[in-house]
Structure 1
Amino acid sequence: MENQQIEELLKQMTMDEKIGQLLQLTPPFFKGSSEHGKITGPLAQLKISDDIVKNTGSVLGASGAKEIRSIQEQHLKDNRLGIPLLFMADITHGYETIFPIPLAIGCSWDLNLAQKSAEIAAKEGAVSGTHVTFAPMVDLVRDPRWGRVMESTGEDSYLNSEFAKAQVKGFQGEDLKNDPNRLATCVKHFAAYGAPEGGRDYNTVNMSERQLRESYLPAYRAALDAGSKLVMTAFNTVDGIPATGNKKLMRDLLRDEWGFDGVVISDWGAVKELIPHGVAEDEREAAYKAIQAGVDIEMMTTCYPNHLKELIESGHVAEELLNEAALRILQLKNELGLFENPYRGLDEVQEKEVILSEEHREATRELASKSCVLLQNNYNILPINPSQKIALIGPFAESNDILGPWSWKGDKNAAITLRKGLEEKLGNNRLIVKKGCEIESITDEQLNHAMTAAEQADVIILALGEHSDMSGEAGSRSNIKLPDSQLKLVEKVHGLGKPTITVLFNGRPLDLHGVYDKTDAILEAWFPGTEGGRAITDILYGDVNPSGKLSMSFPYSVGQVPVYYNHYNTGRPQGAEDAQVRYVSQYLDIPNEALFPFGYGLSYTTFSYQNMKLSTDTITPDDKLEVSITVKNTGNIAGEETVQLYVRDLVGEVVRPVKELKGFEKIHLEPGEEKNVTFEITEEQLRYYHSDLSFESDEGTFEVYVGPNSCDVQSLPFRLIK
Structure 2
Amino acid sequence: MAATWSDKAVGRPFGADQKRDSALKEQVEALLCQMTLEEKIGQMNQVAGSRDTTGAPANTEIEADVREGRVGSVFNAFGVDFTRELQKQAVEHSRLGIPLLFGYDIIHGFRTIFPIPLGQAASWHLEGIERAARIMAIEGAASGVHWTFAPMVDVARDPRWGRVMEGAGEDTYLTSLIARAQVRGIQGRDPGAIDTLAACVKHYAAYGAVEAGREYNTVDMSEWRLRSIYLPPFLAALEEGCASVMTAFNTLNALPATCHPLLLDQILRREWRFEGMVVTDYTAIMELEQHGVAANASEASRKAVNAGVDMDMQSSYFIKTLNDLVQNGQVEEARIDEAVRRILWLKAALGLFEDPYRYANDDREAECLLSDAHRRAAREQARESMVLLKNEGNVLPLNDRHKKIALIGPLGNTRRLIGSWHGNGDHNDTVTLSEGLANRLVEDAVILYAEGASNRIGDTDTSGIEAALELVRQADAVVLALGEDEADADEAASRADIGLPGAQLELARRVLEAAGDMPIATVLFNGRPLALTELDEIAPAILEAWWPGTEAGNAVADVLFGDVNPSGKLPMSFPASVGQIPVYYNAFNTGRPKGVDPKYASKYLDIPNAPLYPFGFGLSYTTFEYGALETTCSEIGLDDTLEVSLAVTNTGERDGIEVVQLYLQDVHASVVRPLRELKGFQRLELAPGTCERVTFRITPDMRGFLNAELEHMQEPGLFRVQIGGCSQSGQEIEFRVV
TM-score tier after normalising by the smaller chain length: over 0.9
In the alignment, structure 1 residue 362 sits paired with structure 2 residue 372:
no
Aligned partner of 1:719 in structure 2 is: 736
Whole-angstrom distance in 2 between the partners of 1:554 and 1:16: 52
1:55 offset after TM fit, Å?
2.5
Sort the Cα spacing of 1:637 and 1:34 in 2 relative to 1 into closer, same or farther, 3 A. Answer: closer
1:212 offset after TM fit, Å?
0.5
1:232 offset after TM fit, Å?
0.1
Aligned partner of 1:448 in structure 2 is: 466
SS at match of 2:135: helix
Sort the Cα spacing of 1:53 and 1:628 in 2 relative to 1 into closer, same or farther, 3 A. Answer: farther
Alignment deviations for residues 240-260 of structure 1 (CA, whole Å, 9 cap, x no partner): 110100112101110110010
In the alignment, structure 1 residue 162 sits paired with structure 2 residue 205:
no
Candidates 590, 593, 603, aligned match of 1:586? 603
| 8 Å contact kept, 2:187–2:197 | yes
Whole-angstrom distance in 1 between the partners of 2:316 and 2:194: 32
In the alignment, structure 1 residue 457 sits paired with structure 2 residue 475:
yes
| 8 Å contact kept, 1:52–1:305 | no
1:402 offset after TM fit, Å?
0.4
Candidates 204, 207, 226, aligned match of 1:190? 204
Whole-angstrom distance in 2 between the partners of 1:124 and 1:223: 22
Q: Any gaps of 5 or more consecutive residues in structure 2? A: 1-22
Whole-angstrom distance in 2 between the partners of 1:5 and 1:478: 53
Amino acid at match of 1:396: L
Whole-angstrom distance in 1 between the partners of 2:707 and 2:145: 43
Whole-angstrom distance in 1 between the partners of 2:102 and 2:671: 46
Aligned partner of 1:572 in structure 2 is: 592
Aligned partner of 1:43 in structure 2 is: none
Amino acid at match of 1:59: V
Aligned partner of 2:46 in structure 1 is: 24
1:448 offset after TM fit, Å?
1.7
SS at match of 2:258: helix
Whole-angstrom distance in 2 between the partners of 1:465 and 1:610: 38
SS at match of 1:338: coil
In the alignment, structure 1 residue 605 sits paired with structure 2 residue 625:
no
Aligned partner of 2:99 in structure 1 is: 84
Aligned partner of 1:205 in structure 2 is: 219
| 8 Å contact kept, 2:663–2:676 | yes
| 8 Å contact kept, 2:67–2:90 | no
Candidates 36, 47, 53, aligned match of 2:59? 36
Sort the Cα spacing of 1:232 and 1:52 in 2 relative to 1 into closer, same or farther, 3 A. Answer: farther
Q: Any gaps of 5 or more consecutive residues in structure 1? A: 40-47
Whole-angstrom distance in 1 between the partners of 2:375 and 2:292: 47
Could you state the TM-score of these two structures normalised by the residue count of structure 2? 0.94
| 8 Å contact kept, 1:645–1:661 | yes
Sort the Cα spacing of 1:140 and 1:448 in 2 relative to 1 into closer, same or farther, 3 A. Answer: same
Amino acid at match of 1:550: L
Candidates 466, 487, 500, aligned match of 1:482? 500
> Which is further off, 495-504 or 331-340?
495-504
Whole-angstrom distance in 2 between the partners of 1:655 and 1:20: 49
| 8 Å contact kept, 1:490–1:514 | no
Amino acid at match of 1:155: E
In the alignment, structure 1 residue 316 sits paired with structure 2 residue 330:
yes
In the alignment, structure 1 residue 351 sits paired with structure 2 residue 365:
yes
1:351 offset after TM fit, Å?
1.1
| 8 Å contact kept, 2:638–2:714 | no
In the alignment, structure 1 residue 293 sits paired with structure 2 residue 307:
yes
1:53 offset after TM fit, Å?
5.9
In the alignment, structure 1 residue 104 sits paired with structure 2 residue 119:
yes
Aligned partner of 2:229 in structure 1 is: 215
Whole-angstrom distance in 2 between the partners of 1:309 and 1:52: 19
Aligned partner of 1:430 in structure 2 is: 446
Sort the Cα spacing of 1:668 and 1:50 in 2 relative to 1 into closer, same or farther, 3 A. Answer: closer
Whole-angstrom distance in 2 between the partners of 1:87 and 1:205: 31
The equivalences for 1:203-602 within 5 A come to 203-388=217-402, 389-426=404-441, 427=443, 429-440=445-456, 441=459, 443=461, 445-496=463-514, 497=516, 498-576=518-596, 579=597, 581-602=598-619
Aligned partner of 1:12 in structure 2 is: 34
Whole-angstrom distance in 1 between the partners of 2:66 and 2:136: 34
| 8 Å contact kept, 1:210–1:693 | yes
1:70 offset after TM fit, Å?
1.2
| 8 Å contact kept, 2:638–2:715 | no
Sort the Cα spacing of 1:376 and 1:210 in 2 relative to 1 into closer, same or farther, 3 A. Answer: same
In the alignment, structure 1 residue 152 sits paired with structure 2 residue 167:
yes
1:36 offset after TM fit, Å?
3.4
Aligned partner of 1:45 in structure 2 is: none
Sort the Cα spacing of 1:226 and 1:50 in 2 relative to 1 into closer, same or farther, 3 A. Answer: closer
1:345 offset after TM fit, Å?
2.5
Amino acid at match of 2:111: E
| 8 Å contact kept, 2:67–2:93 | no
Aligned partner of 1:115 in structure 2 is: 130
| 8 Å contact kept, 1:436–1:442 | no
1:408 offset after TM fit, Å?
2.4
1:319 offset after TM fit, Å?
0.7
SS at match of 1:276: helix
1:428 offset after TM fit, Å?
6.5
Could you state the TM-score of these two structures normalised by the residue count of structure 1? 0.96
Aligned partner of 1:44 in structure 2 is: none
Sort the Cα spacing of 1:51 and 1:635 in 2 relative to 1 into closer, same or farther, 3 A. Answer: closer
| 8 Å contact kept, 2:67–2:89 | no
> Which is further off, 292-301 or 64-73?
64-73
Amino acid at match of 2:448: I
Amino acid at match of 2:453: C
Sort the Cα spacing of 1:486 and 1:38 in 2 relative to 1 into closer, same or farther, 3 A. Answer: farther
Aligned partner of 1:662 in structure 2 is: 679
Amino acid at match of 1:22: M
Sort the Cα spacing of 1:38 and 1:466 in 2 relative to 1 into closer, same or farther, 3 A. Answer: farther
The equivalences for 1:558-707 within 5 A come to 558-576=578-596, 579=597, 581-707=598-724
1:444 offset after TM fit, Å?
5.2
Whole-angstrom distance in 2 between the partners of 1:654 and 1:442: 49
For the aligned residue pairs, the C-alpha RMSD in angstroms reads: 1.5
| 8 Å contact kept, 1:55–1:79 | no
1:281 offset after TM fit, Å?
1.2
Question: After TM superposition, what 4+ stretches of structure 1 lie above 4 angstroms from structure 2?
Answer: 442-445
Alignment deviations for residues 115-149 of structure 1 (CA, whole Å, 9 cap, x no partner): 00000000000010000010000000100000000
Amino acid at match of 1:25: V
Candidates 47, 56, 63, aligned match of 2:78? 63
1:211 offset after TM fit, Å?
0.5
Whole-angstrom distance in 2 between the partners of 1:472 and 1:549: 22
> Which is further off, 629-638 or 342-351?
342-351
Amino acid at match of 2:95: R
Percent identical across equivalent pairs? 49
SS at match of 1:138: coil
Whole-angstrom distance in 2 between the partners of 1:286 and 1:413: 43
Whole-angstrom distance in 2 between the partners of 1:34 and 1:148: 27
| 8 Å contact kept, 1:547–1:639 | yes
| 8 Å contact kept, 2:258–2:280 | yes
| 8 Å contact kept, 1:142–1:563 | yes
1:51 offset after TM fit, Å?
7.2
